[in-house]
């Protein structure tokens, strides 16, 4: 069991109601985060121990003591300089063995003491791998061990747009863990914080996946700002697709007046265009939201017959078609459509919604006995 100092526990307790992030202060950070980082610099036979205190303007700032006087020196982070540095990280090798064995909780216990102080230096260039590797190992182990709040706290202290994309990948790992636990607001927050331009453009596809999951879970207000941000980040050929999803989410969030000008300004794709069925989903969802169920059914059906089963929006298109049948008091047709979703798309969030809707339909009448 981990024991904190009385001071650390007091600070953590006082911070519960006053944390800017809305979370209780990470007591491990209170105790360990601002501990000094000592590194040994080896030049030939000469060795000296440096206390790193800052990183600014591309330079590591170290505190040195000469003849009893304390001073500072700045070191440029270069490949040759990094080769002279030795970080003492205790039982890192043991932690790596525990990770290989799948004992992530054990690895976390080994890594915390020495790795926490390194987090404040994550803007140091990636070539200082002695620093970055253990930090990422700790965060990854925390996520795998289910310590999501602690991993979240550490990643909040990392400027994702100023460090290697490997830190973004950890944030995506955490985001997906939150999605698995249906902590949708936390997942949406992380998706919004991920950098998406330049060297980080590959994050966009993961954010789109998260947006799809949030939309499927009915978290429309969380997904709308994501689509708005993505729209300005993606290439022109993808923007039309994202804009459709944005308008669709606005419709589902009962913001039809906001969505309608966007829908009306879009040019209908050709019937053989992949986006034709998505466009019909967009139009049909607006009619459905306006309770024009017959018109919605007509539009959605025309989109469905042009869709391929692999299109990600087909399950939700089928769901709305089923609901149109329900509203038209045709429970048999609704049952057939919703059952098809559960069979063909069992991993889709719409399969869960279809199953719930199926349970609310009246039981089918038993077939009359045959003579």
Contacts of 114 (CB under 8 A, 6+ apart): 88, 89, 90, 92, 134
Q: What is the pLDDT along the chain (371 residues), one digit of tens a residue?
A: 344 343 343 333 333 333 334 445 899 999 999 898 888 888 777 777 888 888 888 888 888 777 777 788 888 888 887 888 888 777 888 999 999 999 999 999 999 999 999 999 999 999 888 899 999 999 999 999 999 999 999 999 999 999 999 999 999 999 999 999 999 999 999 999 999 888 998 998 899 889 888 987 888 888 999 888 888 777 777 788 888 889 988 988 889 899 999 999 999 999 999 889 999 999 999 999 899 999 999 999 999 999 998 888 899 899 999 999 999 999 999 999 999 999 999 988 889 999 999 999 988 776 666 65
Radius of gyration, alpha carbons of the chain? 27
Determine what percent of the chain is predicted with pLDDT higher than 90: 54
Cβ atoms < 10 Å from Cβ of 210: 25
Task: Say what the pTM is.
Answer: 0.75
CA distance 225 to 228: 5
Are β-strands 59-66 and 69-76 bridged in parallel, bridged antiparallel, or unpaired?
antiparallel
Q: Domain ranges for the chain, please list them.
A: 272-362
The conformation of residue 4, written as its DSSP 8-state character, comes to -
Q: What is the pLDDT of residue 268?
A: 92
Q: Classify domain 272-362 by CATH architecture.
A: Alpha Horseshoe (1.25)
> Per residue in 243-270, pLDDT tens?
888 998 898 888 989 999 999 999 999 9
> Per residue in 272-321, pLDDT tens?
998 899 999 999 999 998 999 999 999 999 999 999 988 888 998 999 99
CA distance 332 to 335: 5
């Amino acid at each position: 069991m981990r024991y904190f100092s009385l001071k650390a526990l007091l600070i953590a307790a006082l911070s519960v109601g006053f944390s800017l992030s809305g979370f209780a202060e990470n007591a491990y950070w209170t105790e360990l985060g601002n501990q000094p980082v000592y590194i040994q610099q080896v030049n030939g036979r000469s060795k000296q121990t440096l206390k790193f205190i800052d990183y600014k303007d591309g330079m590591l700032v170290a505190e040195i003591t000469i003849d009893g006087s304390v001073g500072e020196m700045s070191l440029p982070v270069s490949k040759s300089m990094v080769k002279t540095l030795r970080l003492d990280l205790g039982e890192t090798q043991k932690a790596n063995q525990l990770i290989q064995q799948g004992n992530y909780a054990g690895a976390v216990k080994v890594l915390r003491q020495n790795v926490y102080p390194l987090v404040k230096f994550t803007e140091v260039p990636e070539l200082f791998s002695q620093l970055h590797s253990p930090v990422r190992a700790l965060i990854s182990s925390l996520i795998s061990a289910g310590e999501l709040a602690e991993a979240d706290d550490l990643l909040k202290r990392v400027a994702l747009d100023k460090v290697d994309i490997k830190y973004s990948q950890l944030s995506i790992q955490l985001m997906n863990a939150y999605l698995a636990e249906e902590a949708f607001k936390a997942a949406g927050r992380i998706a919004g914080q991920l950098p998406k331009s330049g060297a980080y453009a590959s994050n966009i596809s993961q954010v789109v996946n998260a947006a799809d999951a949030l939309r499927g879970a009915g978290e429309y207000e969380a997904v709308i700002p994501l689509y708005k941000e993505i729209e300005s980040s993606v290439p022109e050929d993808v923007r039309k697709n994202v804009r459709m999803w944005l308008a669709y989410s606005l419709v589902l969030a009962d913001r039809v007046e906001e969505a309608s000008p966007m829908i009306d300004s879009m040019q209908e794709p050709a019937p053989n265009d992949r986006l034709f069925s998505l466009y019909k989903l967009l139009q049909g969802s607006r009619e459905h939201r306006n309770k024009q169920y017959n018109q919605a059914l007509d539009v959605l059906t025309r989109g469905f017959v042009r869709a391929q089963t692999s299109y990600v929006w087909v399950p939700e298109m089928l769901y709305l078609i089923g609901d149109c049948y329900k509203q038209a008091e045709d429970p048999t047709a609704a049952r057939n459509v919703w059952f098809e979703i559960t069979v063909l798309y069992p991993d889709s969030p719409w399969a869960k919604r279809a199953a719930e809707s199926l349970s609310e339909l009246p039981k089918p009448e038993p077939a009359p006995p045959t003579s």
